């Protein structure tokens, strides 16, 4: 593989040695290896796949390769979860397992990135999978039309490194937190209401969602304040930043804050438990 990659690589305007995307796809086809493995081989030689070269400076080649080896379960593919799945695929997380039993409906059109006229009535998880394949064919994506906290989902969670919370009820988040603790993996949580959002990491050996926020509330503030389009996009951006930091070992329970974001006031606050 090295002989194929080296002649194709070139240097971009920022001085990074880069493997053009079309050459990576050609090598994959000629050698009969997964495109993901072509990217990994290039990164091992300090050659940036063109797809990821704009990550250079934020990540090292070794860190980008590390992300390619990670598995993230995305719980929910709606407002938060759709953006989470898209952002992680673009950033180079190698495997995504998407969970959502619901179908797109017209009320989703104001904020859910994969909701469109042509996807109304279609499954959210499968629609997201197809869209992500169009964004990054090297990302291994599976769509599960399942409640992630149900028994049927357990077999699909083997080997995950982290769970991303894109759910929208306190009951479901409490169950998801218990599941992540049982699996021994972190859960990166976010919730949104109106123009406000909260983002935090829940660690497997730390307090659960229920411990911190209670188990018994009937509804969330989102049901009263609504969800304008910008809030899930911003919250998912914060959430994915924390996801990547956890996956790369750059965040620990002692350093991970809960962040509250108020978009109308254009400010944020951090809290440590």
Write down the domain spans for the chain. Answer: 2-61, 69-271
For the chain, the average pLDDT equals 93
Do 148 and 75 contact (CB within 8 A), yes or no? yes
pLDDT of 144 higher than 60 = yes
pLDDT confidence tier of residue 221, bands split at 50, 70 and 90: low
> In terms of pLDDT, which residue wins out, 225 or 148?
148
* Report field, pTM of the whole predicted structure over 0.85: yes
pLDDT given at position 254: 86
Position 94 scores a pLDDT of 98
112 neighbors 104 (Cβ within 8 angstroms): yes
Contact residues for 80 (Cβ-Cβ < 8 A; gap 6+): 165, 166, 168, 190, 192, 232, 235, 236, 239
Question: Is the predicted pLDDT of residue 219 greater than 70, yes or no?
Answer: no
47 phi and psi, to 5 degrees?
Answer: -110, 125
- pLDDT surpassing 60 at residue 4: no
Quick one: pLDDT at residue 143? Answer: 98
- Note the pLDDT of residue 223: 61
The CATH homologous superfamily to which domain 69-271 belongs is NAD(P)-binding Rossmann-like Domain (3.40.50.720)
How confident is the model over 164-181, as a mean pLDDT? 95
Residue 226's pLDDT is 80
Question: What's the whole-number mean pLDDT along residues 48-68?
Answer: 97
In this model, does residue 220 exceed pLDDT 70?
A: no
Q: Place 218 in a pLDDT band, splitting at 50, 70 and 90.
A: low
Confidence band of 215 (pLDDT split at 50, 70, 90): confident
């Amino acid at each position: 593989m090295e002989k194929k990659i080296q002649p194709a690589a070139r240097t971009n305007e920022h001085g990074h040695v880069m493997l053009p995307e079309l050459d990576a796809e050609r090598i994959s086809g000629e050698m009969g290896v997964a495109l993901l493995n072509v990217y990994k081989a290039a990164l091992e030689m300090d050659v940036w796949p063109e797809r990821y070269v704009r990550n250079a400076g934020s990540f090292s080649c070794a860190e980008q390769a590390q992300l390619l080896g990670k598995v993230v379960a995305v719980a929910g593919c709606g407002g938060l979860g759709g953006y989470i799945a898209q952002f992680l695929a673009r950033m180079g997380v190698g495997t995504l397992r998407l969970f959502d039993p619901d179908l797109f409906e017209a009320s989703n059109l104001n904020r859910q990135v994969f909701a469109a006229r042509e996807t109304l009535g279609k499954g959210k998880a499968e629609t997201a999978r197809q869209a992500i394949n169009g964004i990054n064919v090297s990302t291994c994506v599976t769509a599960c039309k399942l409640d992630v906290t149900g028994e049927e989902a357990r077999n699909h969670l083997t080997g995950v490194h982290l769970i991303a919370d894109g759910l929208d009820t306190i009951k479901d988040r409490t169950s998801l937190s218990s599941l992540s603790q049982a699996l021994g993996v972190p859960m990166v949580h976010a919730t949104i209401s109106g123009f406000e959002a909260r983002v935090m990491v829940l660690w497997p050996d730390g307090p659960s969602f229920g411990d911190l926020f209670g188990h018994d509330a009937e509804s969330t503030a989102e049901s009263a304040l609504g969800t304008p389009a910008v809030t899930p996009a911003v919250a998912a951006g914060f959430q994915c930043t924390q996801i990547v930091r956890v996956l790369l070992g750059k965040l620990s329970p002692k350093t991970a804050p809960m962040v509250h974001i108020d978009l109308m006031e254009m400010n944020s606050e951090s809290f440590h438990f």
